Amino acid sequence: MLLRASRSLISIARSDFFSSAALMAAANALASIFALLYQVSMAKLLSPHEFGTLASLLAVFVILAVTAPAFQLAAAKFAATTRTNDQHDQLRAYWLHLLRRSFLLGIVATMALLALIPVLKWLLQIESIGLVVLLAISFLFAFAYPVNMGILQGMQRFKALAAAMIATPLLRFSLGSLLVVLGFGVHGAFLPYMVGFIVVFFAIFATLRHFPRAVVQHPKTGIDAYMGWTALTYAAFVALANVDVILVKHYLDPIGAGEYAALSVLGRIVLFAPVGVTFVLFAKSAGGDLSSKRRLGLLAGSLAYTFLATGAVVLAFQLVPDIAVNILVGDQYGAIIPFLVNYGIGMVGISATFLLMHYYLSISRTRVALPILAGVVVQIVLVVAYHDNVSQLAFVRLIAGVFTLVAVVAYGMFGDVFCFLKTSRIDHSSSRE
């Protein structure tokens, strides 16, 4: 198995898969840097009270938009299948169908938040109605923006996709910093979230207008069911990656909770290591132009890359933990050094789960949500049972990460045990449950 993965990795390194994956990895790295610069600049330019308000608004946005990636994956899946079958008229139908669904959801979310202005003001302790209105309006494009990103991904237009990935956080950082310096405070800091979605959405929209006018007005395949399962899968994964931090805030004292939060920040480095290769793997495996052998070869090579990249980070945690802690979170968190490796290994499992999750979704095996949900349950049960200190919780993360990865691999090998639940099938997929 190791030899096969090594050969696949070498083959990938010589193909356009590697160049595309390298491009997306670089774009993701730059996007992450600009996102970090946005956070750092806002922390320095705003007062602590204002920055706390901004952080609460962003947290609400992230939580409520948790299903937005489902629109991107659905768009990418159907764009890939129609691309490989030269059915551009159907692609336009899928695209418009998803845009209608996304805007409808965005309008519903906006209206609901506008109706809940008094509740949100009380919950977030915000005096300005304008901030809550900005939060609500931001959802108008929050679900449509990923649709256009997904079309680029499925069409394997990775250069345009990389540009869009970088442009969004760059716009937030530059415009947000400018508006805050000009004296617009939290309003100026949060406004770029809405502006970023709108500007990038229409920029991509302008590049996609060349699609032939749709002959098929209503897609025949189960696009809505696929998107529903994909949304469930993503929600389960987000819960898996974040529920421990929420529970720890409840169980530990403020110092312990802060130390665990710092540990989770370092763990994110492991989690996002395979993001670039995941984008490309999904787009290529979702199409119908690859043989099963070639598709599995790409998966094996991608997994080899993932374990190499994440393993390198964990090795750094083992060899130079003090440097990693001091540079990234500060020497005041030196107490977490003994727990870095256990936490990192757990995140390796979750990172590999992230890759496998996208692979199975690309071939329409949408019930991958079930083993991930099982991992969430296991993690919650273990945290409730073992939460006396950061050491116990780091080991819980290790167990939960490894368990979820094993469960997802078992799903891939023995998926028929889930046959009591029926999901939609994509006509062009060659996979079998």
User: Residue 203: pLDDT above 80?
Assistant: yes
Residue 375 structural domain? 229-433
Last residue of a domain, one of 220, 238, 257: 220
3-class SS of residue 219: coil
- For residue 216, give Cα distances in angstroms to 88, 95, 141, 396: 10, 12, 25, 50
Q: Give kind and range of the element (H or E) at residue 266.
A: helix 254-271
Of 184, 199, 220, which closes a domain? 220
Distance of CA 26 to the CA centre of its chain: 16
Fill in the DSSP letter of residue 145: H
Asked if residue 419 and residue 316 are part of one domain, the reply reads yes
- Listed residue (227, 264, 254, 237) closest to 344, CA to CA: 264
**79 part of a folded domain:** yes
Query: CA 64 to CA 67: how far, in whole Å?
Result: 8
Is residue 113 located within the same domain as residue 210? yes
Answer whether residue 4 shows pLDDT above 80: no
Reduce the DSSP state of residue 363 to 3 states and report it: coil
Q: What's the burial of 242, exposed, middle or buried (CB within 10 Å: 0-12/13-18/19+)?
A: middle
In a domain, 358, yes or no: yes
Q: What is the pLDDT of residues 265-314, one digit of tens each?
A: 788 888 877 777 888 888 888 776 667 778 888 888 889 889 998 999 89
The pLDDT confidence band at residue 182, using thresholds 50, 70 and 90, is very high
pLDDT at 218 over 70: no
Q: What is the mean pLDDT of residues 213-241?
A: 74
Same domain, 294 and 215: no
Please indicate, yes or no, if residue 339 is contained in any of the structural domains. yes
Within a domain: residue 393? Answer: yes
Residues 379-405 have a mean pLDDT of: 92
DSSP 8-state secondary structure symbol assigned to residue 147 = H
- Helix (H, G, I), strand (E, B), or coil: what is residue 369? helix
The predicted pLDDT at position 283 comes to 82
Most confident range (mean pLDDT) of 79-88, 123-132, 323-332, 402-411 is 402-411
Burial class (CB in 10 A: 0-12, 13-18, 19+), 386: middle
pLDDT, average across residues 319-331: 80
Report how many domains make up the chain.
Answer: 2
For the stretch 409-429, pLDDT in tens is 999 887 644 444 444 444 444
Task: Identify the domain boundary among 174, 199, 220.
Answer: 220
- Band (430; pLDDT cuts 50, 70, 90): very low
Same domain assignment for residues 98 and 213: yes
Q: Tell me the per-residue pLDDT of 26-53, one tens digit each, with 9 for 90 and over.
A: 888 888 888 878 877 887 788 767 777 7
Q: How far apart are CA 205 and CA 107, in angstroms?
A: 19
**Closest C-alpha among 359, 356, 368 to residue 233:** 368
Kindly state the DSSP code that residue 138 receives in the 8-state scheme.
G
Same domain, 303 and 390: yes
Is there a single domain that holds both residue 109 and residue 249? no
10 assigned to some structural domain:
no
pLDDT of 35: 83
SS3 (DSSP) at 157: coil
For residues 333 and 367, state if they share a domain.
yes
Closest by CA to 129, choosing from 139, 119, 138, is 119
Is 8 inside any structural domain?
A: no
CB within 8 Å of 242: residues ≥ 6 apart: none
Range list of H helices, 287-368? 292-319, 321-328, 340-362
Structure tokens at 405: 């990865």
Say yes or no: 50 and 169 in one domain: yes
pLDDT tier at 118 (50, 70, 90 boundaries)? Answer: confident
pLDDT of residue 57: 79
pLDDT, mean of residues 68-97: 77
Query: Are 290 and 427 part of one and the same domain?
Result: yes
Radius of gyration of the chain (CA): 22
Provide CB contacts within 8 A for 306, sequence distance 6+.
273, 274, 277, 351, 352, 355
d(CA 325, CA 323): 5
Does residue 292 form part of some domain?
A: yes
Task: Tell me whether residue 115 is in a domain.
Answer: yes
pLDDT of residue 288: 63
Q: What is the 3-state secondary structure (H, E, C) of 400-413?
A: HHHHHHHHHHHHHH
| The pair of three-digit structure tokens given for residue 226, joined into one six-digit string | 């696929």
288 shares a domain with 205 = no
pLDDT of the residue at 245: 77
pLDDT confidence of residue 104: 93
Q: What is the mean pLDDT of residues 64-91?
A: 77
**380 and 421 part of one domain:** yes
